[in-house]
Amino acid sequence: MKMFDIVLLLGLPASGKSEIRRLMASMSDQELEKDFHIGKTIDMDDFPYVFIMRKIDESLENINQPRLFYFSDEKPFIDPRDWLTLVHLLNEDYRDLKQKSMFKDELPSHFVMRRIDMAGQKVGIQPRLQKLRKDILDQISKSIEKDAEDLLEEKYKTYPETFEGKTIMIEFARGGSDGSKMPLDFPFGYAHSLAQLDDDILRKSVIFYNWVTPAESRRKNSERANPDDPGSILHHGVPIEVMLKEYGTDDIFWLEKISEKSNTVTVIKDSKKFMIPLGIFDNGSDRTTFLRSDPDLWDKNKVKEIKQALKSTFDLLFQIQKS
């Protein structure tokens, strides 16, 4: 093995995950492989689905219909099992990627809404969108059509001719309420979301965990939020109530502590057990915010420093995976 097949890029919101992806996108294939054991990256993220769910609710509210996913624009999920709905959407994206599957004969908005309903069913949530009246569904379809088109366009353009020399980066954030004790209640935290991932992902993955404190996560989230660009991976903001109730803590260190092998997270799914290598990148001193700016403006010394720190974490992960 020369490079990672799949890297699960985890960490609280605004911890620097997307900035790290941005840095990697600026590197040559040779540098990524030599210093980070990373192939040419194929990126996956659950945020675009979160964004579309919120837009669906806004559309419903605009025509005086009950929301389906969130209590309000500033509040958490109505049904917290939707954290797992998002995992199953990532699973489907992964399978589609491997098979190079593309939708046909359907509006992008209808296709994405149907996928959301199907993913929810896998965690016990009855279909919500497909039960709406046709006129309401048509109204929603119009409101999210452009976003659904963009989502699918981004998804399909990542399909490679071959997976040789590629590394799939899957980014998501999970957590629980501020002050929660471990283990976090179902379905919150990484324990429950990791256990919903496809077996093939779990077999091939390592976890790169980008650490900041919850307080620092909230600070950086407020700093990055751009109300004029709410769908942006780099500039979206998470509502403060969500930050406190769903990202007030997380369980990655607890999962490492109880794992059967050091420097891993043990995931038990059905009757199968997966020992996923875990590398923790300390971003408490905020090494990544500058990466949001134009790459031509990046401080060369800061770039050198973060590359060295990233290399240490990825080297450790590589050694854990080989052992």
Q: Which residues contact 34 (CB under 8 A, 6 or more apart)?
A: none
For residue 233, the model assigns a pLDDT of 55
For residue 232, the model assigns a pLDDT of 55
Residues of the chain scoring pLDDT < 50: 231
Dihedral in degrees, nearest 10, Cα atoms 108, 163, 88, 70: -60
Dihedral in degrees, nearest 10, Cα atoms 232, 173, 310, 221: 50
For residue 38, the model assigns a pLDDT of 97
Dihedral in degrees, nearest 10, Cα atoms 125, 99, 29, 317: 50
